[in-house]
């Protein structure tokens, strides 16, 4: 129940923040307009209409709980209709949406950053609620692995029983006894590791070492060109080995907080695709990247939810493989006015650049998790 409340809270927070970024806090607690008189409560300028001509604040200031609720819902759902104009364009005509926003049609659509923020909050809210269903799509493989581990434990048990019988036998020589003792110790350790893996006890699995060696920071070989960074990463690896769940938590938390970094990481690679064109600016690439990442997050949310609803994981995986390139192709064509061949060639490079950006982002998250 707490996970559901937390997920709902994340989505609600995302909507409110997105609404704040949009800067659309219109007045009228219930959508009513009011002619202003006197001075603006914010900047003191004389009011001549519904909104202040100087700072844009509404003339009428509501102070009711009902209007506060309306503001929250407005922030989440954009009752004015912007979100419902933006989402269909983002899904089916991403290139046209990006081009229209770049060209100045901004009042009709949710801004890229506001949409991105809401998508980030929504993604992590859904993951919190579903427990990362998308990451557990290989349920059959997991079941097969568990069955295999159980069989290995059974085989180890049978071999240990055989060793017991041989060691109790008077006919067994001293050399054979020594070999059996060594094999028994190794097999006992292996069985223990299999049982920990079967139980999902990663802490115990990492701490269990057949040699009995105590894990120290110096056991990790790290060379990043900076002694302080090497030491920080080594200590982080030591902490992660003793408490892997903490590292996983840090990775999730940092992914949540620093997801915005995907945008600046993407811009240089998009620039490489069009560096000779004077009519394209870095701002255009930023809008392209922000809308594109927002779509990918929404796609992850959608596939996660359909898996929870019972759609085969194979179908969801297929969608995650096929739909992103199609979306990128359409967005490239529409945003940069490319021919089919030009868009296809750039799509090839963009897909490779995407893997590079994700790899850089993943490395940064790991470093933050280990040194934080």
Tell me which residues of the chain have a pLDDT lower than 70: 1-37, 62-81, 131-146, 149, 196-247, 372
Q: What pLDDT score was predicted for residue 266?
A: 96
Alpha-carbon gap, residue 106 to 98, rounded angstroms: 10
Residue 62 CB partners (closer than 8 Å, separation 6+): 27, 28, 29
Q: What pLDDT score was predicted for residue 325?
A: 96
Q: What pLDDT score was predicted for residue 295?
A: 96
Say how far residue 271 (Cα) sits from the centre of its chain: 24
pLDDT tens-digit readout, 4-43: 444 444 544 455 455 545 554 444 444 444 455 688 888 8
Widest CA span in the chain: 109
Q: What pLDDT score was predicted for residue 138?
A: 47
Q: What pLDDT score was predicted for residue 281?
A: 93
Q: What pLDDT score was predicted for residue 141?
A: 45
Chain position carrying tokens 């690439």: 285
Q: What pTM does this model have?
A: 0.65
Q: What pLDDT score was predicted for residue 26?
A: 43
CA dihedral 243, 244, 247, 251 (to 10 degrees): -160
CA atoms within 13 A on the CB side of 298: 18
> Which of 14, 79, 107 shows the shortest CA–CA distance to 297?
14
**Which CA distances in Å does 313 have to 123, 134, 229, 301, 304?**
18, 8, 40, 14, 9
**What residue segments make up the domains of the chain, in order of their start?**
2-135, 138-215, 232-371
CA atoms within 13 A on the CB side of 37: 0
């Amino acid at each position: 129940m707490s996970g559901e409340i937390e997920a709902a809270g994340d989505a609600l927070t995302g909507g409110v923040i997105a609404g704040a970024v949009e800067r659309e806090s219109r007045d009228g607690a219930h959508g009513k307009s009011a002619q202003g008189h006197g001075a603006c409560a914010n900047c003191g300028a004389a009011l001549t209409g519904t909104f202040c001509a100087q700072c844009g604040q509404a003339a009428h200031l509501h102070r009711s709980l009902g209007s506060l609720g309306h503001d929250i819902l407005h922030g989440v759902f954009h009752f004015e209709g912007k979100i419902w104009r933006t989402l269909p364009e983002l899904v089916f005509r991403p290139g046209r949406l990006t081009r229209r926003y770049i060209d100045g049609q901004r009042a009709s659509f949710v801004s890229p950053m506001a949409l991105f923020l809401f998508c980030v909050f929504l993604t992590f809210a859904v993951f919190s609620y579903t427990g990362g269903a998308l990451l557990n799509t290989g349920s059959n493989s997991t079941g097969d692995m568990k069955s295999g581990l159980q069989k290995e434990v059974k085989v180890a048990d049978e071999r240990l029983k055989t060793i017991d019988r041989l060691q109790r036998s008077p006919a067994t020589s001293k050399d054979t006894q020594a070999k059996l003792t060594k094999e028994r110790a190794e097999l006992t350790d292996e069985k223990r590791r299999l049982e920990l893996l079967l139980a999902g006890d990663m802490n115990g699995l990492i701490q269990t070492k057949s040699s009995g060696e105590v894990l120290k920071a110096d056991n990790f070989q790290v060379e990043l060109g900076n002694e302080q960074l090497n030491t920080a990463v080594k200590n982080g690896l030591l902490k992660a080995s003793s408490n892997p769940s903490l590292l996983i938590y840090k990775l999730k938390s940092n992914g949540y907080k620093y997801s915005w970094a995907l945008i600046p990481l993407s811009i240089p690679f998009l620039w490489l695709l069009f560096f000779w064109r004077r009519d394209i600016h870095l701002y255009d690439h930023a809008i392209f990247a922000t809308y594109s990442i927002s779509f990918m997050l929404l796609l992850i949310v959608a596939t996660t939810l359909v898996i929870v609803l019972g759609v085969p994981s194979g179908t969801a995986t297929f969608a995650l493989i096929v739909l992103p390139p199609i979306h990128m192709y359409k967005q490239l064509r529409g945003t940069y006015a490319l021919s089919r061949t030009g868009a296809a060639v750039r799509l090839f490079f963009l897909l490779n650049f995407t893997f590079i950006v994700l790899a850089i982002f993943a490395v940064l998250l790991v470093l933050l998790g280990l040194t934080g």
